[in-house]
Amino acid sequence: MRFMHSFLTVQTTCSLLGNHQASMDKLATFHNLNPLFLQNTRLSKPHRICSLNFLCVRVRSTTYETPLSLSSLPCPLPKLHFLDEVAKIKTLSSVKVLHAQMIKKETLDNTDEIKSLITSYLEFGDFKSATMVFIMGCPRNYLMWMSFVEELRSFGGNPVEILQVFSELQCGGVIFDSEVLTLILKLCACLKDSWLGVAIHCCLIKRGFDMDVYLKTELISFYGTCWGIERAKQVFGEMSDREGILWNEMILLNLKNERWLKALELFKGMQFSFVKTNISTILKVLRACGKIGALDEGKQIHGYVLRRALDSNLSICDSLITMYSRNNRIKQARTVFDSMKDYSLSSWNAIISSYALFGYFSDAWNLLNEMKRYNLKPDIVTWNCLLSGHSRHSSYEMVLTILRRMQSVGFKPNSSSITSVLQSVIELDSLEFGKEIHGFVIRNGLDNDVYVGTSLLDMYIKSDCLSHAQAVFNAMKKRNIFSWNALISGYSYKGLFEDAEKLLNFMVEEGIKPDLVTWNGLCSGYSLWGLNKEARAVIDRIKSSGLTPNVVSWTALISGCSQNGNHTDALKYLIEMQEEGINPNSATMSILLRVCAGLSLLHKGEEIHCLSIRIGLIEDVFVATALIDMYSKAGNLGIALRVFRNIQKKTLASWNCMIMGFSIHGFGKEAISLFDEMCNAGVQPDAITFTALLSGCKNSGLVKEGWKLFDSMSQDYNIDPTIEHCCCLVDLLGRVGYLDQAWSFIETMPLTPDASIWGALLASCRTHRNLEFAEIAAKNLFKLEPYNSANYVLMMNLYAMSNRWEDVERVKSLMSKRGVKISQVWSWIQIDQTIHMFSAEGKPHPDTGKVYFELYQLVSEMKKLGYVPDMNCIHQNLDKEKKENMLLSHTEKLAITYGLMNTKDGVPIRVIKNTRVCSDCHEAAKYMSLIRNREIFLRDGLRFHHIKEGKCTCNDCW
């Protein structure tokens, strides 16, 4: 046996358990114990034996240097009535006297008497004597042993003393049978005494001891617990006769260590060895098949169950139902359920849970009602299945309805119910109801449950009530690492980093080591607040703590940069992350694609698309949805549509993203057509869907369709219009010139108009030169957004077009008085891997001279085709020539011209502008596309303009 010989070859006579005193007193066998020997038995520190020879075959004869008989005691011993004598015990000496009399009279054969004697020793703190009596006198029963361990602990003793006394008895020559050795090995595993277990194994090998199957099983369990699964595997491999219980133990060890596939391999090997498994192992292996999605293996086990006629076992059928449902095979799960001859409540709960898990709520409720036919009533588990299923599928209102219904039929919510309900409270942003739940928790004593406490903590944090969260945390009697992490993250996301760091220090002082979740929450908070250096430093702190930053750590850093607009840093950290050998996950890819979408970085987005394919994330629906968004906003709607069509299981977000793609490109009718397709596919729209649709209508001038969709929101889909929907409708009516209708709608709308509503009206007034409504809109905007320069610029443009120069100066004066500065205007174009920026202010582009020369040539050609510069786009009181020169300096014209100069014929020009494109630049871009036969994609602050052969997809409605 290779593994055990490696332990024996060093020195079999030396101690594997530590140093023991050189001249240890020899022990007599139990019935020859001298009572005075027991007087000084408690060890000051753990003792270890020095030799493996304590498991000798015969009992050594032992003598004491100073023999002492019972006759030497000061007074004769009366005849005993044990229980009467126990009641008279007042001191430890009297316990020992009683013990001595029992040994002399050989009355230690009654279990109750032995237990009373043990308890007496424990009460006086003589743990060693109690342990010695127990080991030698108690039945070979595991439950009895565990009961003694708990009793020993309750009196302040250390269970390690059991192993110490066992070692001393072995050294004294006491020979124990396999039952005791089995129990000692089990205790070694529980107490992690790895070397004593090895010593027992070594001596069993030396003696050629034919271990019984339970001792073999306990050896495997001991090695798996104390030395690792590979050692246990080695011991198992060296056993010639492998009975079913040994196979089962190895399978369970692998499952315990989450080696799911290895456990399934062992189960298969067990069948090939024609060894029958037990019910418990089948149940656990089926659970593993559900956990890792091993459907084929689960089906094979189902076949094994049928061959062995175990399909009548209710527990196995329940596990089969769960296995199939977790593998998304709800029909097979129902087939198993329907084939059962008898049902238990757990069977009903298993199938109801399966339906609820996948959102088949009507089937789940039908089953709940059907239970009555079988004279079964739902229990708290049934209701909790429904609660968690509805919560999982975002049916939060229904969760609260179920809570009320279960209470009405007499069920009091437990900790599992509360955690599901609190999740719904968070999503519904219903803090007041959350407080009511908190009151219920306190009244019913559920606040001692650490999971309920953590859920309450999470609810208050996400409801922006950190003071309440801190109060809950302070009141928690038991705090796990999740509680600490939740509060640290809460402070971090609020930007209260000093409090978060203090809490982190307190956590360490409490003996809880921060894990990756702790650090990742801190990293995300720093990054979210734009503190990139501090966030990056957290990554280094993770490494110095002995942990390795994972994909979540880097994604937290990248996500914060993205949300803060630090797109350059986000892409930089992606490279650094890959250099660390960590591949991005679907969340990372989605964030990076949003970065590319925000900047319209088509080429970088294409690179990330390729990376998604290489690392196998292209099938992920979240990555695919982010790709649709990126390609739409980067101007390649055709690829976006292709990605959309390739998604097998489209989510509502996928549909919404594609509809919005059509909308921002001005394809309103296509957006409505896709909406109809979505509804036919059985997907219910939400508020975001209608925002996308109404945006498509306003960008395409579809007034009739827009009104119809707006009205259908509440009438057909029970969705209340929000301010965003109202803004889209005002914008739609205003763009096509229906300013009176837009004004009438604003006056009658149920919501208070905000800046977006007045901004949409003002923009339309500028387009249609309506000063009356414009001044009303501007007056409101100057109150709501006193520092937004765009509103002032719009009014100055409108006054300039009407030659009201005094009003232009008045608006300028108002801006100056309020300290409002006109925001910087820029446009940029990417050529190869370089971004070329053209700004109205600041450092000019190095090739500005060449660009202006080319632009003059272009304008000359454009005028021959009928181009007339729109002087109304200049709101300064200048002569015509100066105005025309100012028009030439508009950044989008410069960027388009630079693209025409530096790209090959036939390559589309893609320009990004941070503000709305002016009418003159829009007209000029159409002429440029016609003269140079180029497609031009111009993305401004509102939408996309796809210009080809002198025509734009916006149809001049923007």
| Mean pLDDT value across residues 379-392 | 90
Nearest to 129 by CA among 223, 36, 204: 36
Distance from C-alpha of 286 to C-alpha of 318, rounded to nearest angstrom = 10
**pLDDT of res. 556:** 87
pLDDT in tens, 1-10: 333 333 333 2
pLDDT at 269 over 80: no
Nearest to 649 by CA among 616, 628, 620: 620
Q: Which residue has the higher pLDDT, 803 or 730?
A: 730
Give burial (CB, 10 Å; 0-12/13-18/19+) of 724.
middle
pLDDT at 20 over 90: no
Distance from C-alpha of 912 to C-alpha of 895, rounded to nearest angstrom = 9
| Mean pLDDT value across residues 838-843 | 80
pLDDT in tens, 404-439: 999 998 899 999 999 999 988 988 888 999 999 999
Tell me if domain 480-582 and domain 723-823 are identical in fold.
yes
Residue 677 is encoded by which pair of tokens? 């397709």
pLDDT in tens, 746-773: 999 989 999 999 999 999 998 888 999 9
pLDDT in tens, 498-508: 999 999 999 99
Least confident segment among 170-174, 533-537, 668-672: 170-174
Query: Positive or negative CA dihedral for 734, 738, 743, 745?
Result: negative
Residue percentage of the chain with pLDDT more than 70: 78
Residue 91 is encoded by which pair of tokens? 């001191």
pLDDT at 821 over 80: yes
Buried b / exposed e across 592-609, counting CB within 10 Å, b at 16+?
bbbbbbbbbbbebbbebb
DSSP code, position 512? P
Angstrom distances, CA of residue 676 to CA of 654, 672, 905: 15, 6, 39
Q: Which residues pair with 946 in a beta bridge?
A: 937
**pLDDT of res. 141:** 57
Taking each helix axis from N to C terminus, what angle separates 345-357 and 314-326, rounded to the nearest 10 degrees?
A: 0
With bands split at pLDDT 50, 70 and 90, how would you rate the model's confidence at 206? low
Chain-centre distance of CA 902, in angstroms? Answer: 47
Q: Which residue has the higher pLDDT, 94 or 245?
A: 94
| Mean pLDDT value across residues 142-147 | 64
Whole-number average pLDDT of the chain:
80
Domain 723-823: CATH class, spelled out = mainly alpha
Instruction: Report yes or no: 847 and 864 within 8 Å, Cβ to Cβ.
Output: no
Residue percentage of the chain with pLDDT more than 90: 30
Angstrom distances, CA of residue 176 to CA of 36, 171, 246, 917: 24, 12, 23, 93
Chain-centre distance of CA 511, in angstroms? Answer: 24
Instruction: Report yes or no: 453 and 472 within 8 Å, Cβ to Cβ.
Output: yes
Distance from C-alpha of 96 to C-alpha of 99, rounded to nearest angstrom = 5
Residue 946, helix vs strand vs coil: strand
Q: At a CB cut-off of 8 Å and minimum separation 6, what does 481 contact?
A: 512, 515, 517, 518
Residue 539 is encoded by which pair of tokens? 């990554």
User: What are the respective helix, strand and coil percentages of the chain, to the nearest 5?
Assistant: 65, 5, 30
**pLDDT of res. 694:** 96
**pLDDT of res. 387:** 92
With bands split at pLDDT 50, 70 and 90, how would you rate the model's confidence at 77? very low
pLDDT in tens, 611-658: 899 888 888 889 999 999 999 988 889 999 999 999 988 999 999 999
pLDDT at 99 over 90: no
Residue 622, helix vs strand vs coil: helix
CATH superfamily of 480-582: Tetratricopeptide repeat domain (1.25.40.10)
With bands split at pLDDT 50, 70 and 90, how would you rate the model's confidence at 732? very high
HEC secondary structure over 886-919: HHHCCHHHHHHHHHHHHCCCCCCEEEEECCCCCH
Give residue limits of the domains in the chain: 292-377, 396-478, 480-582, 585-649, 651-720, 723-823, 826-952
First to last CA, the chain: 84
**pLDDT of res. 273:** 67
Distance from C-alpha of 668 to C-alpha of 702, rounded to nearest angstrom = 7
pLDDT at 729 over 90: yes
Query: Positive or negative CA dihedral for 172, 174, 175, 178?
Result: negative
Structural element, H or E, at residue 830: strand 826-831
